[in-house]
């Protein structure tokens, strides 16, 4: 019985350690100076159709990169979840309000993998800067890496609780993607 407790504690510590490592890795990434495209990963919208705080932060970071001249186009991704509009539609409205003229809207995806596959089909590019939360960047980079060279632009999450929750959930998502061989990244994937 004691070995079960030790194993459970070890597994829990490993889970937390991986979550911290994913978040730290994402936070250490710096985007390339220039890319053809900035891709914003989707996140949920509010019941009134406005971007959630998470999506708003991602769009603001992506729009700033385009407005500052790091890329000429902005790709916003995300289909319709529980909200009244697709994530990408809400994101595109905000991006245009922030001064981005060239916005590509991918509004069918329901996963990070689909963000990349559907988005890159609409806006193929050799170099892409992916914008998402720090803990999500490792997986997102591998998904977009199937189609393009990617650099990451992390977004600082709003509250520590959201960051911890997101990073812990991301460990499960990474494990699933690795187990099912999704988003292996690189040219041969």
Q: What is the Cα 173 distance to its own chain's centre? A: 12
Q: What is the mean pLDDT of the chain?
A: 86
pLDDT one-digit tens code per residue, 126-135: 889 999 888 8
Of 129, 133, 138, 127, which is closest to residue 154 (Cα–Cα)? Answer: 133
Which domains are seen in the chain, by residue range? 2-179 (3.40.50)
Give residues with Cβ within 8 angstroms of 115, minimum separation 6.
39, 41, 42, 77, 78, 106, 109, 140, 143, 144
pLDDT one-digit tens code per residue, 155-168: 665 666 777 888 88
In which element (H, E) is residue 117 found? helix 112-122
In whole angstroms, what is the distance from residue 157 CA to residue 8 CA?
Answer: 29
pTM of the full structure? 0.84
pLDDT one-digit tens code per residue, 66-124: 999 989 999 999 999 888 999 999 999 999 999 999 999 999 999 999 999 999 999 99
């Amino acid at each position: 019985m004691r070995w079960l407790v030790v194993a459970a504690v070890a597994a829990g510590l490993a889970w937390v350690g991986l979550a911290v490592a994913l978040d730290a890795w994402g936070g250490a990434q710096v985007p390339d100076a220039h890319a053809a495209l900035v891709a914003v990963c989707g996140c949920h919208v509010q019941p009134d159709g406005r971007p959630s705080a998470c999506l708003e932060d991602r769009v603001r970071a992506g729009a700033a990169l385009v407005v500052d001249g790091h890329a000429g186009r902005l790709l916003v991704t995300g289909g319709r979840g529980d909200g009244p509009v697709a994530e990408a539609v809400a994101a595109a409205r905000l991006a245009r309000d922030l001064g981005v003229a060239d916005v590509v809207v991918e509004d069918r995806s329901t996963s990070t993998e689909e963000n990349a596959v559907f988005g890159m089909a609409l806006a193929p590019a050799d170099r892409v800067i992916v914008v998402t939360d720090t803990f999500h960047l490792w997986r997102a980079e591998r998904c977009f890496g199937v189609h393009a060279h990617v650099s990451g632009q992390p977004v600082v999450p709003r509250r520590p609780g959201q960051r911890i929750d997101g990073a812990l959930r991301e460990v499960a998502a990474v494990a699933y993607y690795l187990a099912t061989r999704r988003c292996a990244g690189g040219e041969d994937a």
